Structure 1
Amino acid sequence: MVSLIRSALLLAAVASVALVGQASAECETIYVRREVRDLADEEWRVFVEAVQKVMKTEKPQEADGQAMTIYDDLVKQHLDYQDKCHGTPIFLPWHRAFLKTFELELQKAVPGVVAPYWHWGFDSQAPHHSEVLSHKYYGGAGQGEQSCVPDTPFKDYKPTYTADGMPKCICRQYDDNGNRIAPFSPIEELASIVENSPDFDDFSSRIEGNPHGLVHNGIGYGFSSMSSPSDPIFFAHHAFVDMLWAKFQERE
């Protein structure tokens, strides 16, 4: 977990000098993240398979003897560092490193798998109607007394770590009367933030606010808590936030 913070700080430093010089070496393999709806059915199936394997793969026990899976450990990292990686300058680099850690675990399970992103800007005015929030992809609204999501392909996952009082399932409770989600930030607002933020600090604080926060709060319940990575749509959401940061970096 310390290495994740170290990676985030390194990324933050790199972000400030990103294009000062050319890199002396090239990556052996460049992976490209794609919008989830652009994946072929087989590509989505393989991604789901990889996530499910990570959810089931046991992690070597820590000194306290707590049994957990690799996926549980990812959720725990987000809980452990919640105060350090939100509302601070390392919000973006920490989550970039966290997202990469997730992808590396996926690739151990199924080589070549890349986390897709969810361009929720396309769905911003009626997010609850998004195909991404349907049985075809990540499932929709929570149902029943505990608001567990019945139509997600990850419904069998029982999180070890949850925020206080949360059920042991992927749980959502849409913020607009339970079956609707209030609008997210529209594409025009996202474009303005990317194009007009004068520096990294301004961009980071603006993107973490409404654009990032509205998605968490709109989907709600478990997804609006610091145990939100227990819902795999977390990584699709943050992959899009990371893409917006990459677009901002390209301005340099």
Structure 2
Amino acid sequence: MMHTLSAFVIFSLLVSNVRAQCGSLPANKAEKLEAQINCSMLTTVEILGELVNLVTQTKTCNSKLTFLSNELTKACKVIERQGKSEVDISRSDNASQTIRVDVTDGFGPCVDWLRGHCSELNAKVWCLRVGLWRVSHLNTTQDDLAEQRLFGTSLKIKRNEDNEEQRSRRSTRKIKRIAPSDITKPNTGYRIRKEYRTLTLSERKKYHDAVRELYEDETFSCFARVHRKGIELKGVHRGEAFLPWHRAFLALYEEALRQIDPDVSLPYWDSTIDDNMVAPSLSVMWDAEHMGTGRGKVNNSFAAFDTDTNPLIREIANGKGKLIKQEKIDEILQNCKMGDMFKKLEGIHNGVHRWVGGTMTGRLSASDPIFYMHHAFIDLIWEEFRKRQNSSACEFIDPGTDYPVFDDSDDIRPTPEDHMPNEKMDGMEFMLNKLGIENFWTKNWYGYAERPSCANNCGNSEDMVCDPENGVCVGMQAEDTGAVEDFQPAPEPVAMMMMDRGASVSCRTNPYHVSCPASAPAQRVEDRAAAFVHRDLPMPVNVAKIEDVVQNYKYREDETPPESEPVFFREELDNDCRTLDTAVYDIVTAMLKGKKIPSKNRYKNLK
């Protein structure tokens, strides 16, 4: 009753003003609406819909309407420009203030939120403005109204009260409300996505803060549930809809971030830069200033993030999966038809999910913020492919119409029903699969900054450096390994008993293995590296510190609860053998060969 009475009180004030300003408004229409509202015959959304019609009529009567027209559209214009409802609502109050109101909330929750910040009347007027904007700009259908009658106007997720199906349905509804009514144009404007490590400190903080706020208001978890729902319905992965589905999904996630802070864009994680490292597991990507720990429960900006089943955990460089190699991208870009490449791109995408491990391996993988940055890079690769399609190299194929469909007559398996172009997107049923390949996404929604390369000084980032020998950007290591000179040949190790790393498979792959038989003094670089690791030769101080870091990682892992979600992403046939266990051995081997390891404090320029 509170909702209808509040709406009735303010509606009466508005109607009185309309009558005063425009005598031609039919009185019986206003009286009928008042009666319906007072008797709870209309939902809040339906009331607001009628108010929209009412405002339209008054504008045709009097183009100079000084109060209703100005006051009801003032906030709408600001919201439309900023993409969020942060506007000065004090007006007649003494103190000017800015209060954030969620435009997806109903009238009652909106008023409740504003009580104490401004006068009761201002709160009600403001919330009707927000409601008018919502009705005008967001998709509201009969399905929405039916579900609103079932669940109420608030979409807050109550984990202890709702079952999984209800949470899933609410999550879809919440994401739908983020989508603009005209899906071809975002409410928050065009944006450019940059490689994560090229963000300035201020940009990175803004991004982290927006993700944190998205998590705290449950929207982040809604996206994770929608992705899980899509996996369970089989229309998101292992098929033709993989790329278009995730393109639309990422765009709406980014839109949600920008409704919090319009200066934020979704960065991408170019994992080829980490693959170029000697020990990717020690990249700055996984320190506290960036994406948080790579082993165990995640700390830093994303500390205390959890899923519906577990805390957010990672297990990077675990011997399963692998990072993306540039040569694999080059192979994909040789194709001209989407049908010839989408499986290959999904395949290299799977490897990164397994390499990160933990939460990223299961159906709730979208509970890890790295998920969105990884998929943004996959989308970037697809966009590079689409640009090549629309060139002379591919005879100017229109990528916006190149949705692949296979039937029984083709040599490969037929397109699954859920992946057909005219099927609704699983988990985002308010869109069709084919919508995801249309050209408006990168024309109106977003674009990509140039990938870091030696030609652009690796994006002028302090977190990567150009390797002139190989012509690629290499990620910075978080810990300093010291100078190459620290590994100058030691005195003749005549009396030393070295470990023969070729004695067994375990000895070749795990330098910490203690059961390897003793043999003659080390001669090869690999043998000398093993001797350092086993402390048969004195380990340089900086490398010894890295060994301590690795051991601390492993302790954290031992204290982490096991991931309860089943593994979804398939394991690669040729996994990356540069694991966390081999990190020190790999570093020592490289440095014995004279390779410089760039870190925050050393070798910031390899030229």
What TM-score bracket applies, with the shorter chain setting the length? Answer: 0.7 to 0.9
Deviates more, 1:132-141 or 1:220-229: 132-141
Structure 1 counterpart of 2:222, which letter?
D
Scaled by the length of structure 2, what TM-score is found? 0.32
Cα distance in 2, alignment partners of residues 73 and 115 from structure 1? 17
**Separation (CA, whole Å) in 1 of partners of 2:223 and 2:263:** 20
C-alpha distance in 2 between matches for 1:92 and 1:182? 20
Out of 159, 167, 170, which is 2:312 matched to?
A: 170
- Kindly provide the amino acid, as one letter, of the partner of residue 250 in structure 2: L
Partner deviation per Cα, 1:68-106 (whole Å, 9 max, x = no partner): x11111011001011111011110011011101111110
RMSD of aligned residue pairs (Cα, Å): 2.5
Q: Residue 28 and residue 184 in structure 1: after superposition, are their counterparts in 2 closer, same or farther (change >3 A)?
A: closer
* Aligned match of 1:16: none
- Cα distance in 1 between the residues matched to 2:345 and 2:259: 31
SS at match of 1:172: strand
**Counterpart residue identity of residue 340, structure 2:** D
1:89 equivalent to 2:267? Answer no
* Paired residues of 1:47 and 1:113 also in contact (CA < 8 A): yes
Instruction: Show the 5 A alignment for 1:203-218.
Output: 203-209=341-347, 211-218=348-355
Counterpart in the other structure of 1:53: 213
- After TM superposition, list the pairs within 5 Å mapping 1:191-202 onto structure 2: 191-194=330-333, 196-202=334-340
Partner of 2:250: 99
Q: Which residue of 2 aligns with 1:154?
A: 302
Distance in 2 between the 1:80 and 1:175 partners? 28
Q: State the 1:232 CA deviation.
A: 0.2
Q: Distance in 2 between matches of 1:109 and 1:247?
A: 29
Instruction: Identify the residue that residue 30 of structure 1 maps to in structure 2.
Output: 190
Structure 2: gaps of 5 or more residues: 1-171, 391-607
- Cα deviations across residues 123-161 of structure 1 (Å, max 9, x unaligned)? 125431322222221113223xxxx123x41112232x3
Shift of residue 175, structure 1, vs aligned partner: 4.8
CA distance in 2, matches of 1:120, 1:218: 11
Native 8 Å contact 1:127 1:182 kept in 2: no
Aligned equivalent of 2:287, options 134, 141, 152: 134
Q: Which residue of 2 aligns with 1:76?
A: 225
Distance 2:267 2:257 in 1: 12
Q: TM-score, normalised by structure 1?
A: 0.75
Is 1:248 the counterpart of 2:385? The answer is yes
2:329 aligned residue: 190
Question: Hey, what's the Cα distance between the residues in 2 that align with 1:182 and 1:95?
Answer: 21
Shift of 1:172: 1.1
Q: Post-superposition shift, 1:28?
A: 8.8
Task: Give the residue type in structure 2 aligned to 1:202.
Answer: D
**Larger relative strand fraction:** 2
Equivalent position of 1:66 in the other structure:
none
Number of residue pairs aligned between Structure 1 and Structure 2: 207
1:198 positional shift: 3.5
For the 8 Å contact 2:321–2:350, the answer to whether it is kept is: no
**Residue identity (%):** 28
Contact 2:193 2:265 in 1 (8 A): yes
* RCO higher in structure (CA 8 A, sep ≥6): 1
Matched residue type, 2:387:
E
SS at match of 1:32: strand
How far apart are residue 217 of structure 1 and its match?
A: 0.3
Whether the 8 Å CA contact 2:196–2:268 is kept in 1: the answer is yes
After TM superposition, give the deviation of residue 240 of structure 1 in Å. Answer: 0.4
* Residues 123, 129 of structure 1: 8 Å contact kept: no
Distance of 1:222 and 1:228 partners within structure 2? 5
**Mapped contact 1:122–1:187 kept (Cα < 8 A):** no
What letter corresponds to residue 382 of structure 2 in structure 1? W
Per-residue deviation, residues 100-124 of structure 1 (Å, max 9, x unmatched)? 1111110111123101000001112
Paired residue type of 1:199: K
Whichever of the two has the greater Rg, that structure is: 2
In 2, Cα distance between equivalents of 1:54 and 1:29: 19
**CA 1:200 to 1:46, structure 2 compared with 1: closer, same or farther past 3 Å?**
same
In structure 1, stretches of 5+ residues that fail to align are 12-22, 58-68
In the alignment, which residue of structure 2 is the partner of 1:60?
none
SS in 2 for 1:153: helix
Aligned AA for 1:124?
A: D
| Partner AA of 1:104 in structure 2 | E
Write the letter of the residue equivalent to 2:210.
Answer: A
Measured in 1, the distance between the counterparts of 2:344 and 2:325 equals 14
Cα distance in 2 for residues equivalent to 1:30 and 1:45: 21
Partners of 1:100 and 1:115 lie apart in 2 by 9
In structure 2, give the amino acid aligned to 1:142. R
Q: Tell me the residue number matched to 1:110.
A: 261
CA contact (8 A) 1:116 1:236 kept: yes
Quote the offset at 1:182 in angstroms.
5.8
